[in-house]
């Protein structure tokens, strides 16, 4: 055992107070130094924290960005989601693989570069994209891929790959990223000028109960997808019993096609932190956590800096805004590549230093959340709305939008449209009108709400974007007439199969069954019966899964069955013999045997 490794483990664990609940930070820090969290390291960490090896190992094995085996000094993760695939990610991946001389998933012989695939990294408006260690590289093509591969092989640092910076804070010294914001439409709630502290001042002039009343009056509903009324959630959190309360900001933004929180984190983090601070005052909490997805690690130094500036201004810390006794501070918890960690109870597990497993509900986080204390989990955009509501008044906010959905919504649009990017639009806009804004009016299909949402066709373009009609956490993916709808649905099912935490059978096994049947149909070996089977299985998975992932994962199949049924039916051929399964091909099933034994079948020899 190397002494230096033991020393590193000891000092890292000490830095986090030898606290098991900070496991994510500990293993991330050690991996950063060592390249991986080796088997030996697992034992050392367990020893140092006074816990079992399996506790450490279950964390390291759960997250895509953590590894117990050594990887290259640089890891290139290419987004292989549908939008990137449409923009040529396959060729980019092939160019990388060829230039580096490795297969996908492999590491160059000199240990310099590892090449991997990853689901959506939140750069869909500038696809194909990849992250190289923490550095996002966007608008890739084959020749750029080859050039990058060469630089990395020659030992170039990932940061040096960035030669031009995106606008706004992407060019900030602490970000220095090529990512462009692509904010195409500004609105009054999120993308408007804001002077830090103004909303806090107004909130502190009221009692916490009055703040919650205002949030209720504004009719604000959660922007993360589920649309739960924010004021009500805060009320529950405030009134649940516990010595300590927490405010968590969900910046996991993992739903493919969603990248609106990226622009908030880049351009208006103050608004978001202000909203969190107000939440702290309202629910009676002195501690906030931002759960930032691993893919956005490039924003971490910048966000830390914004936090320290807020501390300097007295907007975080003790006696905030001069209010005696009101203390609140925020820490940033990094994720490590797991879609399920956007689900609030899985997110809490992850913050507690565990695998990102969802928890049983009830109790809800508002009753027993982070470290079993009452916790409100809200989306990045929700906190921005809160700050603006306190600043401008609940009535001002409530009169915008539609009946059941007050205010504006950030939509991130990508795919077959001329102006991909982020739009702040009032709730209640029709999908058709929105597509015109984004230059996507030729769409044959639109995925609203990401893979867990709905695939709709032109018949539904008159529907409105709001919680009660076409709900979305922000993702809008546009597909032109030349796209194969079922291949897109199959891609989404691959995503859910990969991202299911595996805890409950309907989700773990049911999604695999749906995926298999869909592939079968795409192969031209499906039967009409398969459609009924998929419908029933999809409904069962939705009904019997434990968390929101499983409860929405069959949607790619169910919504295309509903809205694009002819796309299935044209692929289904006449049956060969009554009662025989079209998907079963005896010659294919005998292929291996015939080769090994060296003879043809005597039974099936026609």
Ligand X SMILES: Cc1cc2nc3c(=O)[nH]c(=O)nc-3n(C[C@H](O)[C@H](O)[C@H](O)COP(=O)(O)O)c2cc1C
By CB under 6 A, tell whether 548 contacts ligand X: yes
By a kind-dependent CB cut-off of 5 to 8 A, residue 223 interacts, out of ligand SF4, ligand FES, ligand X, none, with ligand X
3-state secondary structure of 13: helix
Quickly count: other Cβ atoms within 10 Å of residue 457's Cβ: 18
Question: Which H or E run includes 206?
Answer: none
Among residues 406, 456, 485, 504, which is the contact residue for ligand SF4, using CB under 6 A?
504
In the structure encoding, which two tokens stand for residue 140, read together? 């890739």
Binding flags for ligand SF4, 543-582, as an x/- string (CB under 6 A): --xxx-xx--------------------------------
Q: Cβ of residue 432: shortest distance to ligand FES, in angstroms?
A: 23
Cα angle 270, 273, 278 (rounded to 5 degrees) comes to: 120
Question: Which H or E run includes 165?
Answer: none
Rounded Cα gap, residues 554 and 541, in angstroms:
7
Task: Tell whether the torsion through CA atoms of 13, 17, 20 and 26 is positive or negative.
Answer: negative
By CB under 6 A, tell whether 340 contacts ligand X: yes
By a kind-dependent CB cut-off of 5 to 8 A, residue 504 interacts, out of ligand FES, ligand X, ligand SF4, none, with ligand SF4
By CB under 8 A, tell whether 1 contacts another protein: no
Give yes or no for a contact between 422 and 260, defined as CB atoms under 8 angstroms apart. Answer: yes
By CB under 6 A, tell whether 474 contacts ligand X: no
Among residues 151, 174, 226, 232, which is the contact residue for ligand X, using CB under 6 A?
226
By CB under 6 A, tell whether 129 contacts ligand FES: yes
By CB under 6 A, tell whether 497 contacts ligand SF4: no
| Adjacent-strand bridge partners of 455 | 447
> Which is nearer to another protein, 110 or 600 (by Cβ)?
600
By a kind-dependent CB cut-off of 5 to 8 A, residue 256 interacts, out of ligand FES, ligand X, another protein, none, with ligand FES
Among residues 256, 401, 420, 538, which is the contact residue for ligand FES, using CB under 6 A?
256
Taking the CA atoms of residue 568, residue 570, residue 574 and residue 580 in that order, the dihedral angle to the nearest 10 degrees is -20
> Which is nearer to ligand SF4, 114 or 555 (by Cβ)?
555
By CB under 6 A, tell whether 127 contacts ligand FES: yes
8-state DSSP, 358: -
3-state secondary structure of 334: strand
By a kind-dependent CB cut-off of 5 to 8 A, residue 1 interacts, out of ligand SF4, another protein, ligand FES, none, with none
Rounded Cα gap, residues 355 and 557, in angstroms:
29
Size of the site for ligand SF4 (CB under 6 A): 14
Q: Cβ of residue 87: shortest distance to ligand FES, in angstroms?
A: 8
- Pick out residues in 348-387 that bind ligand X (CB under 6 A): 377-379, 382
By CB under 8 A, tell whether 241 contacts another protein: no
Q: Nearest-CA neighbor of 486 among 514, 458, 460? A: 514
Question: 566 vs 455, 523, 561, CA distance in Å?
Answer: 14, 16, 9
By CB under 6 A, tell whether 341 contacts ligand SF4: no
Rounded Cα gap, residues 349 and 265, in angstroms:
23
By a kind-dependent CB cut-off of 5 to 8 A, residue 603 interacts, out of another protein, ligand FES, ligand X, none, with another protein
DSSP string, 109-148: TTS-EEEEEES--S-GGG-S-EEETTEEE-S--HHHHHHH
By CB under 8 A, tell whether 583 contacts another protein: yes
By a kind-dependent CB cut-off of 5 to 8 A, residue 216 interacts, out of another protein, ligand FES, ligand X, none, with none
> Which is nearer to ligand X, 254 or 257 (by Cβ)?
254
Q: Which stretch binds ligand X (CB under 6 A): 155-163, 200-208, 249-257, 522-530?
A: 249-257
By CB under 6 A, tell whether 343 contacts ligand X: yes
Rounded Cα gap, residues 447 and 472, in angstroms:
10
Rounded Cα gap, residues 219 and 233, in angstroms:
12
Enumerate residues 6+ apart whose C-beta is below 8 A from 33: 8
- Pick out residues in 352-381 that bind ligand SF4 (CB under 6 A): 358
Find the distance separating the first CA and the last CA of the chain, reported in whole Å. 65
By a kind-dependent CB cut-off of 5 to 8 A, residue 507 interacts, out of ligand FES, ligand SF4, another protein, none, with ligand SF4
- Pick out residues in 57-96 that bind ligand FES (CB under 6 A): 79, 81, 83-84
The β-bridge relationship of strands 329-334 and 445-448 is unpaired
By CB under 8 A, tell whether 597 contacts another protein: yes
Taking the CA atoms of residue 593, residue 595, residue 599 and residue 600 in that order, the dihedral angle to the nearest 10 degrees is 70
Strand order in the sheet with 475-479: 183-185, 421-426, 408-415, 475-479, 445-448, 454-456
Among residues 13, 92, 95, 120, which is the contact residue for ligand FES, using CB under 6 A?
120
In the structure encoding, which two tokens stand for residue 182, read together? 């692509």
Report the interface residues with ligand X, using CB under 6 A.
222-226, 228, 250, 252-255, 340, 342-344, 377-379, 382, 547-549
Q: Would you tell me which residues interact with another protein (CB under 8 A)?
A: 529, 577, 579-581, 583-584, 586, 588-594, 596-599, 601-604
Binding site for ligand FES (CB under 6 A): 79, 81, 83-84, 120-124, 127, 129, 256
Residues at the site binding ligand SF4, with contacts judged by CB under 6 A: 340, 358, 500-504, 507-508, 545-547, 549-550
């Amino acid at each position: 055992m190397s002494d230096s490794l033991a020393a590193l483990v000891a000092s890292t664990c000490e830095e986090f107070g030898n606290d098991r609940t900070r496991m994510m930070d500990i293993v991330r820090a050690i991996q950063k130094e060592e390249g991986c969290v080796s088997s030996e390291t697992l034992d050392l960490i367990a020893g140092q924290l006074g816990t079992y090896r399996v506790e450490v190992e279950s964390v390291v094995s759960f997250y895509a960005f953590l590894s117990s085996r050594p990887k290259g000094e640089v890891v290139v993760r290419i987004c292989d989601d549908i939008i990137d695939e449409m923009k040529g990610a396959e060729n980019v991946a092939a160019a990388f693989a060829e230039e580096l001389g490795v297969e996908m998933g492999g590491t160059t012989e000199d240990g310099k570069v590892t090449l991997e695939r990853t689901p959506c990294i939140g750069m869909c408006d500038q696809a194909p994209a990849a992250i190289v260690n923490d550095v996002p590289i966007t608008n890739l093509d084959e020749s750029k891929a080859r050039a990058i591969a060469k630089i990395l092989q020659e030992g170039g640092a990932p940061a040096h790959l960035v030669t031009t910076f995106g606008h706004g804070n992407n060019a900030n010294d602490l970000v220095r990223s090529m990512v462009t914001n692509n904010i195409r439409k500004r609105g009054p709630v999120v993308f408007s000028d804001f002077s830090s502290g103004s909303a806090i001042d107004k909130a502190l002039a009221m009692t916490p109960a009055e703040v919650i009343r205002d949030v209720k009056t504004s009719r604000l509903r959660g922007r993360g997808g589920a649309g739960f009324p924010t004021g009500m959630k805060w009320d529950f959190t405030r009134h649940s019993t516990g010595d300590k309360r927490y405010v968590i900001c969900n910046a996991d933004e993992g739903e493919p096609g969603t990248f609106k929180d990226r622009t908030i984190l880049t351009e208006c983090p103050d608004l978001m932190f202000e909203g969190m601070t107000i939440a702290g005052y309202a629910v009676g909490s002195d501690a906030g956590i931002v759960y930032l997805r691993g893919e956005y690690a490039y924003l971490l130094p910048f966000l830390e800096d914004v936090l320290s500036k807020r501390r300097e201004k007295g907007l975080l810390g003790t006696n905030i805004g001069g209010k005696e006794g009101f203390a609140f501070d925020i820490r940033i918890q990094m994720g490590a590549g797991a879609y399920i960690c956007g689900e609030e109870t899985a997110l809490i597990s992850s913050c507690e230093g565990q695998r990102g497993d969802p928890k049983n509900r009830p109790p809800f986080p508002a009753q027993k959340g982070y470290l079993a204390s009452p916790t409100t989990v809200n989306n990045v955009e929700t906190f921005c709305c809160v700050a603006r509501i306190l600043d401008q008044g609940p009535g001002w906010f409530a009169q915008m939008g539609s009946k059941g959905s007050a205010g504006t919504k950030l939509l991130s649009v990508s795919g077959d449209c001329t102006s991909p990017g982020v739009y702040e639009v009032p709730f209640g806009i029709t999908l058709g009108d929105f597509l015109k804004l984004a230059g996507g009016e030729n769409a044959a299909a639109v995925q609203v709400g990401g893979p867990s949402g709905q695939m709709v066709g032109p018949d539904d373009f008159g529907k409105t974007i709001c919680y009660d009609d076409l709900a979305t956490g922000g993702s809008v993916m546009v597909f032109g007439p030349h796209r194969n709808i079922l291949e897109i649905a199959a891609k989404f099912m691959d995503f859910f199969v990969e991202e299911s935490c595996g805890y409950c059978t309907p989700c773990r096994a049911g999604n695999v069954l749906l995926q298999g049947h869909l592939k079968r149909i795409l192969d031209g070996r499906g039967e009409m019966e398969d459609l009924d089977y998929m419908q029933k299985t999809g409904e069962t998975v939705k009904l019997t899964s434990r968390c929101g992932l499983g409860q929405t994962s069959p949607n790619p199949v169910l919504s295309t069955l509903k809205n694009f049924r002819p796309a299935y039916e044209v692929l289904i051929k006449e049956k060969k013999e009554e009662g025989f399964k079209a998907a079963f091909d005896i010659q294919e099933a005998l292929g291996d045997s015939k080769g090994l034994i060296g003879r043809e079948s005597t039974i099936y020899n026609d």
